[in-house]
Amino acid sequence: MPLSPLSRPNLAHIVRTRLSEAILSGELEPGQHVPEPELASRLGVSRAPVREALLELERHGLVTFDSRGRTHVVQLTLEDMEEIYSLRLALEPLAAGLTAERGTTQDFETLAANIAATEQATSLAEVTRLDAAFHDLIMRASGHRRAAHFWEGLRYQVEAWLGLMQRRHQAVFQSTQAETVKAHKRLLKVLRSGDAAAAEEEMKKHIVSWRRWLALEADAAARSDRKPTL
C-alpha cells in the first residue's frame, strides 16, 4: 500500500499500521533509513504520531534506532531468522493441538474464509498477510492466553519472516500462493478432525517445510564469505 497523506483520527495507530504494511510488503526495504521528517511529510501528519508509531514498531522488532537516534527498517540476520523459526516451532504446534481440541465451528469457518481469501489474493504481499493472519487465528482459537501473549510480541516478526521466505520461494518456483493454500487446507482438515496429536504434527511439518530456505541462505553466505542477512 503506497504511503500517502492521512486524514483520520488516532493517527499514531494509523501511522503504525501504514508503516508496518510498507515494511512487511517490502515497500520500505530491510536496512533502509526512514527519517521521521520524510515519513511525516509523505503521510501528511506531524512528527509526533510518526515518532510514537516508530517506538511501537521498535518494540515489535520491525525498526531499530542507531546510536544517533536514526531509524532503520530492521534487517533480519540468519540468527534472527533461526530464533523466529525456533519460537514458531515451540508455540504453533501447541496451539494447533489445542485448537483441534477446543476449536468451535465458527473458528473453523473463519479459518476456511481466510483460505478462500488467500486463494483469491492478487499479490504475494496479500498472501503473506493472510498467511500470518491464518496463524493468528489458530493461536487465538487455542485458548492458551500465555502462548497468545508471547505470540503477540512475535507476530510482526513472524510476518516479516514469512514475507522473506515467500519472496524467496516465489522467485524460484512461482507457486507460493497455491502451495500456501494447499498447506492451509491440509492443516484445517486435521484441525477439524479433533485429533490434537495429529494437528501438532501437521503444524510442525508445515513450519519445518521452510527450514531448507534458511539452510540455503547459510550455505550461500558461507560460500561468499558475507554476513548472512535475508
159-174, pLDDT tens digit by residue?
A: 998 988 898 888 888 9
Provide the pLDDT confidence category of residue 2 given band limits of 50, 70 and 90.
low
Per-residue cell: 201 = 504434527
Give residue limits of the domains in the chain: 11-73, 78-223
62-86 pLDDT, tens digit per residue, is 999 999 989 999 998 888 989 999 9
Alpha carbons within 13 angstroms on the beta-carbon side of residue 133 total 16
Q: Give yes or no on whether 11-73 and 78-223 have one common fold.
A: no
- Which range of 4-8, 83-87, 95-99, 159-163 scores highest in mean pLDDT? It is 95-99
Report the percent of the chain where pLDDT is more than 70.
Answer: 89
In the predicted structure, residue 134 carries a pLDDT above the cut 60 = yes
Q: What is the pLDDT of residue 228?
A: 47
Mean pLDDT, to the nearest integer, of 104-116? 98
C-alpha cell at 186: 491440509
- Alpha-carbon Rg for the chain in angstroms: 18
User: What pTM was computed for the model?
Assistant: 0.85
Model pLDDT, residue 227: 53
pLDDT, average across residues 147-157: 93
Q: Are the C-beta atoms of 202 and 187 separated by less than 8 Å?
A: yes
Over residues 42-47, the mean pLDDT reads: 92
Is domain 11-73 in CATH 1.10.10.10, yes or no? yes
Task: Give the pLDDT mean for 194-223.
Answer: 83
| Cβ-based neighbour number of residue 187 at 10 Å | 22
In this predicted model, what pLDDT tens digit does every residue of 115-131 receive, in sequence order?
999 999 999 999 999 99
The answer for residues whose C-beta is within 8 angstroms of residue 200's C-beta and 6 or more apart is 93, 94, 96, 97
Average pLDDT across the chain, whole number: 90
Give the pLDDT of residue 122: 96
CA distance 158 to 87: 10
Residue range 78-223, CATH number: 1.20.120.530
Q: Cα 132–21–35 angle (5° rounding)? A: 140
Q: From residue 115, how far is each of 17, 48, 57, 217 by CA, in Å?
A: 23, 38, 28, 29
State residue 8's pLDDT score.
52
In this model, does residue 139 exceed pLDDT 50?
yes
23, 49, 120, 132: which is closest to 88 by C-alpha? 132
Residue by residue, what is the 3-state secondary structure of 18-68? Answer: HHHHHHHHCCCCCCCECCHHHHHHHHCCCHHHHHHHHHHHHHCCCEEECCC
pLDDT tens across 9-25, in order?
Answer: 578 889 999 999 999 98
